[in-house]
Each structure stands twice: as structure tokens, then as C-alpha cells.
Chain A
């Protein structure tokens, strides 16, 4: 980035504040603690600036384009016909929360109130859940995703009026996945989706966090800005499968923070897929807060044209006997740019940690670009840790094999590219979503590079 185009800190600071200024007036929350949380975040927004490539954590990702575009909160909810939204529904999911441009859409949602139901599972927006579940929510909301030094998390928290809340009581296993659907419909709108997933001891749940667009045709090429924060808390022996799909529009900006807290012997399985957005950044931070927890973080970024997709993950083995597995793949076509920064931290005393990380990248054109930075920091002595990264093109022997079976060179390349991505999609345990994404990947790889 040249200095001429760089945002000065002052301008960047004003930019964040200008986003806040666009916030519509809302009824004051009666909850003092939530108000205090927001006030604290507002204060941080005033103090922080937008990061630039001079910041180590943003070295490879130039977001100056974001600062040049102005966004405002949606002033009114867009009314969507159920029929328009239905194609995004996931048939296996029996509960669903839909947010349109960041605003909860009860007419499109199928919540579960908790108290009236047999199992006590809560799938609800925050404002509805607060009255009955404030005691469960308060210790966690805003407590796992730090915003003191993160401008985007601070901005999201400053806007925190509503959220998607999932609470699974002790020893309850939710059979059907929970679908959290975020739909962007308006140009130049900033939305700040917020999710809180609380899996109490011994419980199990699958959550799909899904970002889609339903633009009016004439806005197809316009930008919106999604700034999401998700907190996932697993108590002892809890099991959470977290599927995240980012399929925003080709001009969109998507920045997201996800903080996961792992209790004793808990198990967190994550598959995140980034297909859309002009510029996307996903920060996934997983903290082993107690012994014997397991996590698997799998990711796929499939991008082309001038897209940029950045994944920053951090697995913090703060306690012994933890296991982590990570496979992150990028398929980069056109003059797109993928970034992977995968940190695995094994702290002093986190003995018997077993951590394996792999990052595999496929570059489809000479102009496609990848920056990969696996980081292993080990401060314990008795651990098993491996990591590796590969960057390559398609194997010519594989292409020839498929050609010798009658496929054209282009068809063979598409199939191999698809297969490279399908390995991650295959790990999604929801048949209809898997099929849908496989179809998307098939179509996208057919049109690459």
C-alpha cells in the first residue's frame, strides 16, 4: 500500500466513529450491565483506529478500500417474502433465526423459547431471551471476544442491541442443527451480527452460521459491510459443531471475530467456508481453558477475480492434554489473494498437548497470490506438534489421468480443483448443506480462473 492511499490514524478513527453516528436511535436498554458493556465499547471505538498493513496482524490484508466507502446502519427492516428466503433454508434445521441487514426478522424465524419446551433449549434473539435468561447470558456476552484492542470487535459491541442466542442446557443433545441466517439486502449498509452459543455441561449441538445476500437486482454490484462477532462457550464435556458459511456478494466487506472457550474434555468441531466478499477476514480464536479439550478447525477459501480472503486462527493450548487438528485450504484464481495465519500456542504447563496443523493452497493462475504463515509457539516440553504448508498448481499427472478417461483438459482441471475443495466440504455433517455447497463449489470451480 502506498502512503498516498493509506488512511491516517486520525481519519481511520473518525471513520469508525462515523459508523457509530449512523446508528439509529433505539429504546434504552433497561439492563445496566449491557449498557455499560456498550459504553465501554463506544469508548474503545473512539480510541482505536482502523488497522493498516503496518500492523503486524494486518500485514497482508490492506483494508484501505473499506475506509474509502461509507456505510450506515439500516434504518428500516427490508420486508422479505418467505418464498425469497426459502432457498436458503436448511431442511435438517428445525430452529432458525433470521436477521435481515442485522435486524431480527421474527416472521422468517423459527425460534425455541426454552422455558415452555420440554428440553429447555433456547434458540432466540437476545431481546426476547434476555428476560428469562439474563443470568446465563450475562457472564458470557462480550466476555470472550475481547474488543479492547480490536476496532472491529469494539464497533460490533458498541452496536450490541440484539443477537442470536443459543443455550443448550446440561446433558441435552440437540439432534437437529440450529440455523443462524444473516441476509444482506441493502447497499452501503453496515450490519453487526452477533451470536452467542452456550453449551452447558454434557450438552451437544450443531450450529450453522450463514451469511448470504439477497440483493435487489440493481444493487448486485454494490457493497455492504458485515462486521460479525460470535462467542461460543463449551462447558465441561460439551460438544459443539460449528459450521460457518460466508457467501456474501462480490463487492461486500466481511470482517468477523469468533471466540471459542473450551471447558474440560469438551469438543469443538468447526468447518468454515469463505466463498464471497470482495474482502473478508475471519479471526477464529480457540482457548483451551481446561484439561483434555479437543478442537478441529477446518477451513476452505475459494476465491477468484479480485477477492481477498484472510483467515487468522489462534489455538491457545493453555491447559494440558488438549488436542487440536486444523486443515485449512485455499483455492485462488484470477488475481485473488488469500491469507492464512495459523497460530498454535502451547503454554507452559500444557503438557501432553497434541496439535497438528496443515495448510494447503492451490494457485490456479500466475496472478493468484497466497500469503501463508503457520506459527507454532511451544513453551511446554512434553508435546506432539506438527505443522506444514504447501502451495502448488494442479498435478499434470492427475490431469492426464482424467484426460485419458475422456475428460477435456478444462473439465479435468475443474474436477481436480473441485475435489481439492470438496475434502473440506465433506466434513460438514449436514447432507443438504453439503450438497448445496458442493454444487456451489462445482459451479465456481467451473468458472475459474
Chain B
């Protein structure tokens, strides 16, 4: 939701980033204020997922120019774990399986690590068990998932729920959901979306990176951005997503090119 005079959480200016010498993000500008829900849409290869990974600090991507301020501090100077502790969260498109590590242990480890860094109280296994089971109800997750290895053998939907569960535990200021809707059936999508909506407050913000409008029926964005060739070429309200759904992306691209070619 858009609030008057809310704080700027994320300010991206002129961001350029490349992977293996290939430039993917080209002069990207993007601002998020607290309380807001943003959707970044675009075709495959437009740079959406790269943008999400660059924000989270993926080592394969090199930032070649531009700046990113997160709550006023230089995000690009922070290591991935420092970004997480500062309140940035990335829900992965393809969550990683970690055989041999119990999900419950892993969740407690990450929770306590982040709590400690934030100067808050850590929970012992029993306290944490109560706490996490409560959060799991929100996502209609079976507590059996605590005893299994992290994401191992989870279905696509289960992995995504586990991502949102981590988000619920870590309470980020800014959550980036990378293709969270992909691989979900409609029931799972509804549950995940409900969980995300429950976690939205006026002090945090969400950025959904998505290919399809479907998710936006359940998590209603304040802003919809269209990405193409590594930059945002159009920004609108939630109606833009519906328009993209019916008309496709070509018209946005054409409009953008026309605007760019107008002589000054």
C-alpha cells in the first residue's frame, strides 16, 4: 500500500551489471518506499532475475556502475549475509536442496544468526519449535517438513512455501520474490499469496519478480514495472499487469522505442 511520507527503503540509480563480461543490467533506476508492493514483469532474458540476484549479492554478477542505497546505506559494499542481516530477503526461484541438514535445524540456525546480529534474543530448540510451528500454520505446512532435509524431495510448491516460511522467520524490511508463482498450482498459489499478504506491513516492502499476471490477482501491487533489455521501460499501476496479460509486451516495447526516437 502507498503511504504518504513513507521512508525510502531502496534506491537504485544507474545500475549496470554483467555476468561473464556480458552486460545484463543497463542503467537501471528503481525506488521502493516502505509499505509498497512492486511487481517487476518482463519477458525471459529481460534481466528481472539478474536484478534480484544482484540485489542479494550473488557473486557471479559484477556491478560495473551505479549505486544502490538500502535504508541509506551502500548495499553494494555489503556481503550477501550482511544484506540478509540488514533486512533484505530473496525468495529463490529455484530453492537449493541441502541433503543432510534438517530443515528445522537450518531454520533455527538462520533465525538465531539474524536475531543475534540484530541484537535480539535467540531461541533454544524448544522455544523455536513452538515459534516455527506457529508460522507454518500461516502457510498450511505440515510440521513434518521440519524433520526432513532442507528442500530435499520437496515438490515445487513445498519449496516455495519453505521460502516464504523463511521470510516469515527473518522478518525482512524488503523481500524480493523471484518467480515465486512458477510451478505452483492454484491452491498452493493462494496459500503462498495469503502468507505473503499476512506478512506485509507499513514498515516493510515487497518486490515480486514475475512472468505472469496470475500472482498479482492474489498479491495486489501498487506499482507494476516492465523490464526490457536490462532497464525499466514502463511503470504503471495494477491495471498495467492486466493490460500486459491481454496485449502482451510488444506494445510497451514499441511505445518505448517511439518515445526514445522522438527528436529532442
- A residues near B (Cβ < 8 Å) are 395-398, 400-409, 411-412, 415-416, 418-423, 426
Contacts and interface: CB of A to CB of B under 8 A. Distances in A.
B77 interface: no
B98 A403 contact: no
Contacts of A416: 98
A407 B166 CA distance: 13
B154 interface: no
Contacts of A404: 56-57, 80-81, 83-84, 89-90, 92
A407 B83 CA distance: 11
B101 interface: yes
Interface in B73-92: 79-81, 83-85, 89-90, 92
B96 A401 contact: yes
Contacts of B100: 418-423, 426
A409 B81 CA distance: 8
Given A400-B58, A404-B81, A408-B81, 11 more contacts: A396-B60, A400-B59, A401-B98, A403-B79, A404-B84, A404-B92, A405-B110, A406-B84, A406-B113, A407-B109, A423-B100
A403 B101 contact: no
Nearest to B94: A397
Given A404-B84, A407-B109, A396 B166 contact: no
Nearest to B88: A404
A406 B166 CA distance: 11
Contacts of A423: 99-100
A401 B81 contact: no
A398 B84 contact: no
A232 to B, nearest CB: 28
A266 to B, nearest CB: 30
A403 B81 contact: yes
B84 A405 contact: yes
Nearest to A411: B113
Nearest to A423: B100
Contact of A397 (B81, B96, B149): B96
21 contacts: A397-B96, A400-B58, A400-B59, A400-B80, A401-B95, A401-B98, A403-B79, A403-B80, A404-B57, A404-B92, A405-B84, A406-B113, A406-B117, A407-B81, A407-B109, A407-B113, A409-B79, A412-B81, A415-B109, A419-B99, A426-B100
A406 B86 CA distance: 9
A407 B110 contact: yes
B170 interface: yes
B41 interface: no
B114 interface: yes
Given A405-B170, A406-B84, A406-B170, A422 B101 contact: yes
A398 to B, nearest CB: 5
A403 B57 contact: yes
A348 B191 CA distance: 58
Interface in B111-161: 113-114, 117, 149
Contacts of A411: 113
Contacts, number: 74
- The secondary-structure label for the interface of chain A is helix
Contact of B59 (A396, A402, A422): A396
Contacts of A403: 57, 79-81, 84
A398 B100 CA distance: 13
10 shortest interchain CB distances as A-B pairs:
A419-B100, A422-B100, A403-B80, A401-B96, A405-B110, A406-B84, A406-B114, A419-B101, A406-B113, A423-B100
Nearest to A405: B110
Contacts of B113: 405-407, 411
A164 B106 CA distance: 41
A418 B101 contact: yes
Contacts of A396: 59-60
Interface string B36-58: 00000000000000000000111
Nearest to B101: A419
A422 B96 CA distance: 17
A308 to B, nearest CB: 25
B84 A401 contact: no
B192 to A, nearest CB: 18
Contacts of B109: 407, 415
Contacts of A398: 96, 98
| From A395, A400, A405, A426, residue with most partner B Cβ within 10 Å | A405
B98 A419 contact: yes
Nearest to A398: B96
A404 B90 CA distance: 7
A390 to B, nearest CB: 14
B55 to A, nearest CB: 10
Nearest to B107: A405
A409 to B, nearest CB: 7
Contacts of A401: 92, 95-96, 98
Contacts of B110: 402, 405-407
A423 B170 CA distance: 27
Contacts of B117: 406
A163 B60 CA distance: 58
B108 to A, nearest CB: 12
| From A402, A409, A415, A423, residue with most partner B Cβ within 10 Å | A402
A418 B105 CA distance: 13
Contact of A405 (B57, B79, B149, B166): B166
| From B59, B81, B166, residue with most partner A Cβ within 10 Å | B81
A271 to B, nearest CB: 14
A72 to B, nearest CB: 42
Nearest to A438: B100
A406 B96 contact: no
A408 B89 CA distance: 15
A416 B109 CA distance: 13
A393 to B, nearest CB: 14
Contacts of B114: 405-406
| From B95, B110, B114, B170, residue with most partner A Cβ within 10 Å | B110
